[in-house]
């Protein structure tokens, strides 16, 4: 079996800013601060780490206590539901190129099991993917709610995947992500990494981190699937 763990934002979907709006609303309500897009660079980071960095930048680190954090994230999930629903209704959720063909293709292969390795909280991942109509593909995962550290949450996701399929049946683990941090932490967690330049980073920026494969997007499912089965080698699709 091959375990295949996906990042969400910039890899499978763009939420049209819904995630950041929900985060900002919750921050304002709990900490009375206002952020805009320029305050935060969320790419590849976990939700708890993003919160920690924002509070530090407002000199509010002392208020990052467990109870307050829990309150903030409960509100965030409630607002995320609302913002994602608005984004869905207005057609602002973008499913990234190739994803709608790649997910059914790879899930119909009996030697692949699909999961998530994402900095989103588990509930946030569920809300985003449900509203995008993709949630049903993923059977296990590691999340920002498991650990603030992306290597650790990726390891947790892999362990859950191994339990899902039977540990002795696993002969490959791939992480798919769109940022240099996805590549670095995926590799640190012991996975092979496929980087897709469908988020904010280009092919060259991702190549610097030396993933096992860099693609412009997830089109050409058959070539990507056979690359993973072979575990290495060159791929002819998605030339840049
Ligand atoms: Mg991402």
Same domain, 33 and 127: no
Measured in Å, residue 127 CA sits from the centre of ligand 1 at: 16
Nearest in space to 116 (alpha carbons), one of 177, 36, 185, 34: 177
Measured in Å, residue 177 CA sits from the centre of ligand 1 at: 6
Quick count: other Cβ atoms within 10 Å of Cβ 166?
A: 9
**CATH classification of the domain holding 62:** 1.10.150
Q: Could you give the angle at the alpha carbon of 109 between the alpha carbons of 104 and 115, nearest 5°?
A: 65
237 domain-assigned: no
35 domain-assigned: yes
pLDDT in tens, 155-171: 999 999 999 998 889 99
The domain tally of the chain equals 2
Same domain, 8 and 119: yes
Structure confidence at residue 66 (pLDDT): 86
pLDDT in tens, 94-144: 999 999 999 999 999 999 999 999 999 999 999 999 999 999 999 999 999
Same domain, 131 and 52: no
Domain holding 58, by residue range, is: 18-89
Same domain, 223 and 115: yes
Same domain, 27 and 43: yes
Measured in Å, residue 26 CA sits from the centre of ligand 1 at: 21
Structure confidence at residue 63 (pLDDT): 83
Measured in Å, residue 120 CA sits from the centre of ligand 1 at: 10
pLDDT in tens, 134-162: 999 999 999 999 999 999 999 999 999 99
- Final residue of a structural domain among 89, 104, 130: 89
Structure confidence at residue 37 (pLDDT): 67
pLDDT band at 237 (very low <50, low <70, confident <90, very high): very low
Element (H, E) at 172: strand 172-177
Same domain, 150 and 222: yes
């Amino acid at each position: 079996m091959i375990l295949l763990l996906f990042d969400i934002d910039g890899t499978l979907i763009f939420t049209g800013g819904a995630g950041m709006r929900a985060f900002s609303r919750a921050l304002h309500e709990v900490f009375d601060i206002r952020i805009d897009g320029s305050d935060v660079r969320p790419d590849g980071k976990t939700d708890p780490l993003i919160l920690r960095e924002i509070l530090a930048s407002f000199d509010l680190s002392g208020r990052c206590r467990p109870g307050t954090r829990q309150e903030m994230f409960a509100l965030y999930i409630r607002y995320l539901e609302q913002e994602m629903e608005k984004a869905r209704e207005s057609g602002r959720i973008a499913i990234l190129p190739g994803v709608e063909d790649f997910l059914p293709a790879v899930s119909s292969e009996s030697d692949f099991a699909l999961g998530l390795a994402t900095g989103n909280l588990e509930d946030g991942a569920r809300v985003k993917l449900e509203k995008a109509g993709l949630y049903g593909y993923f059977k296990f995962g590691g999340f920002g709610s498991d650990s603030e550290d992306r290597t650790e949450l990726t390891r947790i996701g892999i362990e859950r995947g191994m339990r899902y399929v039977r540990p002795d049946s696993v002969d490959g683990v791939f992480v798919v992500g769109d940022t240099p941090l996805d590549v670095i932490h995926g590799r640190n967690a012991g996975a092979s990494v496929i980087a897709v330049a469908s988020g904010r980073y280009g092919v060259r920026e991702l190549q610097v981190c030396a993933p096992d494969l860099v693609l412009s997007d997830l089109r050409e499912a058959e070539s990507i699937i056979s690359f993973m089965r072979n575990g290495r080698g060159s791929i002819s699709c998605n030339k840049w």
